């Protein structure tokens, strides 16, 4: 069924994204999973065909397309290709609002051309070994010293952490100011004292580099302050709804991709002399999943429209994030079950998809935190 959200231009863009993934990503992804990282040249190739830099003005090398539907198409096609190693979604959906909306003219000139071309890979560093969902527990500090900040601390679970050329670090700039004491500071590759730890060994998303970061008396120019000093939390809260909606788009696309794969499998796989899809239990399970995925997609499409109109609320995004990611895990689990023993074999796509999806109810804010946000929005 054609989705009203997209027009003919979006359909053409989807074809180009699918073709890029077919040519440049799908044949190589198994090797990247073994190596634990996607080669940098894939980023520049993606930038060369317009997959990066949505929202970046054309004067800085971007597409100038400030339309989240294009971001969504990239996300959906990556999920359909089972290409979980690509950190492009982080660059387009999470980093772009900071890089475009919070940078000054000089910062735009320095960073945006490479951001759009794929030559400058970015990451955001919030989580610490002792501070996950509770961002006010962040202890990484940035002390003003003349025309520089001196950064000390560590971060963990940082997506694009190995490849990143520029990391926006959430740091405490005034320990006595509470929530108003945090700022966003951009740390560039090669800055003395900035070190990367190991590429973390995860349950899923094996090809996506996720690293620990360490800051030991790192001197960062005050010109690298992103947004306003002391407004780090405000900036984060303003941009988290888009990040969470992005996660929801991926959750629905991943669930749908595996559902379609499983339906095809159930038509072919036989037991007791007939395809397993002919058994009532199988049909009922797939009917339930198909219904819920369609409902989730409808809600997320509404969220995309609201985001494009500047009307997406924190609560809207939290609802979308927790519901779709929990549904995605349910779909993956049911689909694996319908594959029987083969579903537990890593050579089958459902096994890898099951592993990859598990993190979605955790990153970007756990399901529990999302429900807390929704509950507070109800005045409770």
β pairing state of 270-271 and 274-275: antiparallel
H or E stretch at 249: helix 232-268
Residue corresponding to tokens 């397993």: 276
Residue corresponding to tokens 């995925």: 293
Q: Which CATH architecture has domain 8-120?
A: Orthogonal Bundle (1.10)
pLDDT per residue as tens, the chain (380 positions): 678 899 999 999 999 999 999 999 999 999 999 999 999 999 999 999 999 988 899 999 998 889 999 999 999 999 999 999 999 999 999 999 999 999 999 999 999 999 999 999 999 999 999 877 777 789 999 999 999 999 999 999 999 999 999 999 999 999 999 989 999 999 999 999 999 999 999 999 999 999 999 999 999 999 999 999 999 999 999 999 999 999 999 999 999 999 999 999 999 999 999 999 999 999 999 999 999 999 999 999 999 999 999 999 999 999 999 999 999 999 999 999 999 999 999 999 999 999 999 999 999 999 999 999 999 999 99
Q: By the 8 A CB rule, do 198 and 211 touch?
A: yes
Q: How far apart are CA 370 and CA 380, in angstroms?
A: 14
What three-state secondary structure class fits 273?
Answer: coil
Pick the CATH number of 123-230 from 3.20.19.10, 2.40.110.10, 3.40.50.300, 3.40.640.10: 2.40.110.10
Domain layout of the chain by residue ranges: 8-120, 123-230, 233-377
What is the reported pTM? 0.96
Residues acting as catalytic residues: 243
Q: How far apart are CA 166 and CA 215, in angstroms?
A: 14
Helices of type H across 25-161: 29-35, 40-48, 68-80, 88-89, 96-101, 105-117
Distance, CA of 256 to chain centre = 18
Domain 233-377 in this protein, CATH class: mainly alpha
For residue 219, the cross-strand partners are 150
Strands (E), the chain: 122-125, 141-145, 148-159, 166-172, 182-188, 194-199, 210-221, 225-226, 270-271, 274-275
Phi, psi of 304 (to 5 degrees): -65, -40
């Amino acid at each position: 069924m054609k989705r009203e959200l997209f027009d003919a231009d979006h359909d053409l863009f989807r074809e180009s994204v699918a073709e890029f993934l077919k040519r440049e990503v799908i044949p190589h992804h198994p090797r990247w999973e073994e190596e634990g990282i996607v080669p940098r040249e894939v980023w520049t190739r993606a930038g060369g065909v317009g997959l990066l830099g949505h929202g970046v003005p054309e004067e800085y090398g971007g597409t100038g397309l400030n339309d989240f539907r294009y971001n969504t198409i990239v996300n959906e096609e990556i999920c359909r290709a089972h290409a979980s190693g690509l950190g492009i979604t982080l660059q387009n959906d999470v980093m772009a609002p900071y890089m475009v909306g919070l940078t000054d003219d000089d910062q735009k000139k320095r960073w945006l051309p490479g951001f759009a071309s794929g030559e400058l890979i970015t990451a955001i560093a919030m989580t610490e070994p002792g501070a996950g969902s509770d961002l006010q527990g962040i202890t990484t500090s940035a002390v003003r010293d003349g025309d520089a900040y001196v950064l000390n601390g560590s971060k963990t679970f940082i997506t694009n952490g190995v490849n990143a050329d520029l990391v926006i670090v959430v740091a405490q700039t005034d320990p006595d100011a509470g929530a108003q004491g945090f700022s966003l500071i951009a740390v560039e590759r090669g800055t003395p004292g900035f070190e990367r730890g190991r590429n973390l060994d995860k349950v899923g998303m094996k090809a996506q580099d996720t690293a620990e970061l360490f800051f030991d008396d790192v001197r960062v120019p005050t010109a690298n302050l992103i947004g306003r000093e002391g407004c780090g939390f405000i900036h984060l809260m303003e941009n988290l709804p888009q990040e969470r909606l992005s996660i929801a788009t991926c959750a629905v696309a991943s669930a749908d991709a595996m559902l379609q794969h499983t339906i095809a499998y159930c038509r072919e796989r036989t037991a007791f002399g007939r395809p397993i899809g002919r058994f009532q239990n199988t049909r009922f399970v797939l009917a339930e999943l198909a219904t819920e995925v369609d409902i989730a997609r409808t809600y997320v499409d509404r969220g995309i429209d609201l985001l494009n109109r500047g009307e997406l609320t924190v609560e809207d995004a939290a609802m979308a994030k927790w519901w779709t990611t929990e549904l995605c895990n349910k779909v993956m689990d049911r689909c694996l079950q319908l594959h029987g023993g083969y579903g537990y074999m890593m050579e089958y796509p459902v096994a890898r998809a099951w592993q990859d999806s598990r993190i979605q109810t955790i990153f970007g804010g756990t399901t529990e935190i999302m429900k807390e946000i929704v509950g507070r929005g109800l005045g409770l």
